Structure 1
Amino acid sequence: MLSEIFQKPKPIIGSVQLLALPGSPDWDGHWDSLTARAEQEATALATGGVDGLILENRHDTPFSRGRMDVAGAIAMALLTRRLKQFTNLPIGISVLQNDPETALAIAMNTGADFLRLSVLSGALMTESGVINSRLNELLHYKNRLKVALPPILVDLSHQHLSTGGPSVANPEEQRLAHLLRVAETLPQSIQRLSLVISDQALSPELLPIFMAQVAFPVLVVHQNPLQAPDALFEQAHGLILETSIRKASALQAHVPPTIDMPKVEEVVNRLRGIKSVAEMDPDLFLKR
């Protein structure tokens, strides 16, 4: 499924985290700065060598527990179409903490390639309260729109609620058991499904054990800039770059740090085994 979207057996995906959109509490009314920021992040990721993008309204906090504001959905659709033309990369849509219907509508109207959802089955404990699955609503909405579901990346984390299992003394093994219980609740009827695990949820040692017991491709999220992503990337079917490739500080106090293109290039080249010019044999440049 992943190679179908990205034309690579093990894709590296970058996260474009949009500034606050129209209709959200922190929207400042400046469309030009919203667009410029989105274009900068997409350009930095594409130039750095990623294989795809995920467009997220990460700064529309505090998140609504319902549907996205209409103005925000229209803005996100316009930006999706712009960035798809701008980069010519596969693009995924992630809306709020769980608004799959709006994500599907944006994807249908912009030609986006996949969705990323925080919860597909069960429930998720968040700062906004308990977020329940909207799978039933998504399937009904898909039928109303007369479209097929695009490929879906669904997050699994320690915040997902699950039925209790046997007690395990080791904390890491406890997290593994918890994620496996959550994965068991995922609907088998969704054909093109991949799982997304944060780099803090499972160690590289336990990740293969998890992957051996699930029937879906597994991607990992690299968030910690102090942790090398090599072991995670080696084990998983793909990698999502989030906060680890952002600048250390923002130019303005009220604006979140944007993406640092050299960091993206450094991570991608290391994972792909591409040497920098400084690492190459100088004789290569002297040979005819």
Structure 2
Amino acid sequence: MITEAEFLKIFKTTKPIIGMLHLRPLPGSPIYDGRGLKPVIDQALEEAEKLVKGGVNALQVENFNDPSYFPDNAPPETVASLAIVGHEVHKAFPDIPMGVCLLADPIASIAVAHAIGAKFVRATIYTEASVDVSGLALRRPHEILRYRKFLDPSIKIFADVHIKHSAPLVNRPIEESAYDAAYFLADAVILSGKHTGFETPLEDVKKVRKVLPDFPILIGSGLRPENAQNLLRYASGAFVGTAFKVDGKPENTVDINRVKKLMDIIERIRRNK
């Protein structure tokens, strides 16, 4: 297990906020418009600039608008597209730590992360079989860890526990699942609400913090100005997407004023820690 102190070296701050780049539909998606990657790259760069100027500590590219997602192995057109877009974002913002979430394929995410110079991946399915919106998802941490060892051991794996839009095949207490993810060499665990933008239950965070007192715990959904203080009392940081969007709707573009508002609150939390 890594410690929270080791985790924070990636972001060079406490309570890091990872701004989500929810990419436009990629080639192969059921709602891809056939216009190629230029519109995807243009929007990703525009939103990344707003997030960085607003004060986020890292960026993550994700094929959020590719419903539904492959539950195990992402197709080559998605892998290639995400790598190209991620490369362009990282080239434009080389000093900002980058992450990759290629739904729902952690091994492909590691490959893209290595190709573009990203520092971490979000593994939405890691240690447990899940009934996902796309079907039965069977991830195997031994394969993920061995692939990382082969390709790039420096890439960190941030693993979701009881990931949103799904349910574990066997219902276990969330703290037990989180402990297992940490035991099997995840570099952080992620807790979220039931769906995108839904608030992460504070009681879940407390339960996991009790069994993992010195381990990175990230909020995976629903962090907002009104709950940031309570959630970050126990959590180490957060992924934020919906709260940064116009009108707080995940399908909208990034609103820099909403980014600044939340990041001002995060700065106050850091100062008062």
By the TM > 0.5 criterion, same fold?
A: yes
Whole-Å separation in 1 of the counterparts to 2:237 and 2:225:
19
Shift of 1:227: 4.3
Shift of 1:231: 1.5
1:273 equivalent to 2:268? Answer yes
Question: Larger radius of gyration, structure 1 or 2?
Answer: 1
1:195 equivalent to 2:200? Answer no
Find the counterpart in structure 2 of residue 67 from structure 1.
Answer: 73
Find the counterpart in structure 1 of residue 103 from structure 2.
Answer: 96
Find the counterpart in structure 2 of residue 213 from structure 1.
Answer: 211
One-letter amino acid matched to 2:228: P
| Runs of 4+ more than 6 Å apart | none
For the residue of structure 2 that corresponds to 1:186, the secondary structure is helix
Query: Residues 211 and 249 (structure 1 numbering): CA distance in 2 closer, same or farther, change over 3 Å?
Result: closer
For the residue of structure 1 that corresponds to 2:201, the secondary structure is coil
For the residue of structure 2 that corresponds to 1:61, the secondary structure is coil
Whole-Å separation in 2 of the counterparts to 1:257 and 1:89:
23
Query: Residues 189 and 164 (structure 1 numbering): CA distance in 2 closer, same or farther, change over 3 Å?
Result: closer
Query: Residues 156 and 249 (structure 1 numbering): CA distance in 2 closer, same or farther, change over 3 Å?
Result: closer
Shift of 1:261: 0.8
- 1:135-167 Cα shifts (integer Å, max 9, x gaps): 23323433553x3151111112374426556xx
Within 5 Å, which residues of 2 pair with 1:3-18? Answer: 3-18=8-23
Q: Tell me how large the CA RMSD over aligned residues is.
A: 2.5
One-letter amino acid matched to 1:89: I
One-letter amino acid matched to 2:265: R
One-letter amino acid matched to 2:99: G
Seq. identity, %:
24
One-letter amino acid matched to 2:25: A
One-letter amino acid matched to 1:228: N
Find the counterpart in structure 2 of residue 52 from structure 1.
Answer: 58
Question: Is contact 1:162–1:182 with CA below 8 Å preserved after alignment?
Answer: no
Shift of 1:69: 2.2
Whole-Å separation in 2 of the counterparts to 1:75 and 1:206:
35
Question: Is contact 2:162–2:168 with CA below 8 Å preserved after alignment?
Answer: no
Find the counterpart in structure 2 of residue 154 from structure 1.
Answer: 159
One-letter amino acid matched to 1:188: Y
1:230 equivalent to 2:224? Answer no
Find the counterpart in structure 1 of residue 126 from structure 2.
Answer: 120
TM-score w.r.t. the length of structure 1 is 0.79
Within 5 Å, which residues of 2 pair with 1:26-37? Answer: 26-30=31-35, 31-37=37-43
Query: Residues 216 and 130 (structure 1 numbering): CA distance in 2 closer, same or farther, change over 3 Å?
Result: farther
Query: Residues 220 and 164 (structure 1 numbering): CA distance in 2 closer, same or farther, change over 3 Å?
Result: closer
Number of equivalences: 254
Whole-Å separation in 2 of the counterparts to 1:125 and 1:197:
17
Question: Is contact 1:2–1:11 with CA below 8 Å preserved after alignment?
Answer: no
